[in-house]
Amino acid sequence: MQTSCSYTKKETHIVSFFGMNNELIKTVEVQNAELYMPYTPDNLKKYTFEGWYTDSDLTVEYEPQKVYYSFSLYSKWTGIYEGLDGYQYNTGVDETWYNTGAELPHGINYRST
């Protein structure tokens, strides 16, 4: 009696995560056709996580989808600064940091000119 065993490796894809300064922070292997929901990182000191984007210019927000190819996700962070009154303020949409790694100094009054 002859027995045989066959093994078929399932197709997988790599999702690459990029943080501030477009530095690679993590890769995840995902099964083909798996619905993928990315992780949510903890907020960083002085920054709030705003979401994952499919382009490095942070214009196309990632929508959970089935994975059929490898791709990259880029994190968007909004700067927070502590005012002279001791409260923390979100710098708002116009002051969003796009993967620059810049930090807002404490106690500085930013004004438009």
- Reported as a pLDDT band with limits 50, 70 and 90, residue 96 is very low
Nearest to 23 by CA among 77, 79, 101: 101
Three-state DSSP state, 82: strand
User: What is the rounded distance in angstroms from the CA atom of residue 14 to the CA atom of residue 45?
Assistant: 29
The residue assigned the tokens 């994952």 is 52
Contact criterion met (CB below 8 Å) for 18 and 74: yes
Nearest to 19 by CA among 101, 71, 75: 75
pLDDT at 51: 96
pLDDT at 106: 42
pLDDT at 72: 98
Nearest to 50 by CA among 88, 29, 19, 83: 19
User: Looking at per-residue confidence, does 86 or 108 come out higher?
Assistant: 86
Q: Could you tell me which residues come within 8 angstroms of residue 86 by beta carbon, excluding any fewer than 6 positions away?
A: none
pLDDT at 67: 97
User: Looking at per-residue confidence, does 108 or 25 come out higher?
Assistant: 25
pLDDT at 16 over 90: yes
CATH (one of 1.10.3720.10, 3.40.47.10, 2.60.40.4270, 3.40.50.2300) for 12-97: 2.60.40.4270
In the chain, what are the domain boundaries? 12-97
Query: Is residue 73 within a helix (H) or strand (E), and if so which, with residue range?
Result: strand 71-82
Residues 29-88 pLDDT 10s? 999 999 999 999 887 888 889 999 999 999 999 999 999 999 999 999 988 876 666 555
